[in-house]
Amino acid sequence: MPSLSAYLVVSALLFSLGAFGFLARRNAILMLISIELMLNAVNLSLVAFNAYQPGGSLNGAVFALMVMAVAAAEATVGLALVIAIIRTRQTPEVDEYSDLKE
């Protein structure tokens, strides 16, 4: 059985992959996918902490379920925003959204 630290390392790896994707990718939808990756990493660490704590409380699991619901809401609104932006600007590349700079 893997230890708690192993799960935390996997979660950290997933989180930093998501952070890298958010910072480095140019596609707006891929930035949203990267946010989902980070949320999932946090969920994994929550469930791992919940599974490894003594006493059998359910806080971590319930919190993970709530994070999932909030992530679903965030994905919905985020994708709607991205689609609205793409419809007006005709490109998913975030570099092109520079109206405020000019």
Partner 1 sequence: MVGGGLAVVTLRNVIHSAVAMMVCFGSLAGMYALLGAPIIAAAQVLIYLGAISVLILFAIMLTQAGDASLPAPFHRQVWLAVVAAVAVFGLIVWGAVQTDWHGATRATVLGLTAIAQAIFTTYALPFEVLAFLLLAAIIGSIFLARRPEEDERAS
Q: Which amino acid is at 60?
A: G
Within 8 A by CB and 6+ apart from 4, the residues are 48, 49, 52
Q: For residue 44, state whether it binds partner 1 (rule: CB under 8 A).
A: yes
State in angstroms the smallest separation of the CB of 70 from partner 1.
7
State in angstroms the smallest separation of the CB of 97 from partner 1.
13
Distance in angstroms (rounded) separating the CA atoms of residues 80 and 72? 12
Backbone phi and psi for residue 22, each to the nearest 5 degrees, phi listed first? -65, -40
Binding site for partner 1 (CB under 8 A): 1, 4-5, 7-21, 23-27, 29-30, 32-34, 36-37, 40, 43-44, 47-48, 50-56, 58, 61-62, 64-66, 68-77, 79-84, 86, 92-93, 95
